[in-house]
């Protein structure tokens, strides 16, 4: 069974631009969560989507947004990029998000210049 797939794997943007990252969860998984990983702050929860609705949200500014489609695929968007947004963005999926294992993708590494 295919794992969580994230695209693109690497990307470089400049300050002020916006970026969209994509995540395809494991087939049958309905919950998709997004995490940001940086050397300074570690792994931080961004948000979770379940059945196309945002179910949980972390402490990130409104520049960070996401959505989920009817096939459970998810996208996250960061607008007006700042240097500090450079990070590894990880997507994780689970069956229903109420417990049990989160399956992470390999991440999208964003560099903001």
Partner 1 sequence: GESVGLHLPTLSVQEGDNSIINCAYSNSASDYFIWYKQESGKGPQFIIDIRSNMDKRQGQRVTVLLNKTVKHLSLQIAATQPGDSAVYFCAENKGGTASKLTFGTGTRLQVTL
Which residues make up the interface to partner 1 (CB under 8 A)?
Answer: 4, 31, 33, 35, 37-45, 48, 50, 55-56, 58, 88, 90, 92, 94, 97-107
In the complex, the smallest distance separating the C-beta of residue 110 from partner 1, rounded to whole angstroms, is 13
Nearer to partner 1, 43 or 61 (CB): 43
Tell how strand 87-94 and strand 103-104 pair up. Answer: antiparallel
Asked if residues 4 and 105 have their Cβ atoms less than 8 Å apart, the reply is yes
Nearer to partner 1, 49 or 81 (CB): 49
């Amino acid at each position: 069974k295919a794992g969580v797939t994230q695209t693109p794997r690497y990307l470089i943007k400049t300050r002020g631009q916006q970026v969209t990252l994509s995540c395809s969860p494991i087939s049958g998984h309905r919950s998709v969560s997004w995490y940001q990983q940086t050397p300074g702050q570690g792994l931080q929860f961004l948000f979770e989507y379940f059945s196309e609705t945002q179910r949980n949200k972390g402490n990130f500014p409104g520049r960070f947004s996401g959505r989920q489609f009817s096939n459970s695929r998810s996208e996250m968007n960061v607008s007006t990029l700042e240097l500090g947004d450079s990070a590894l963005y990880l997507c994780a999926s689970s069956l229903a998000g109420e417990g049990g294992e989160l399956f992470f993708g390999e991440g999208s590494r964003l560099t903001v210049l």
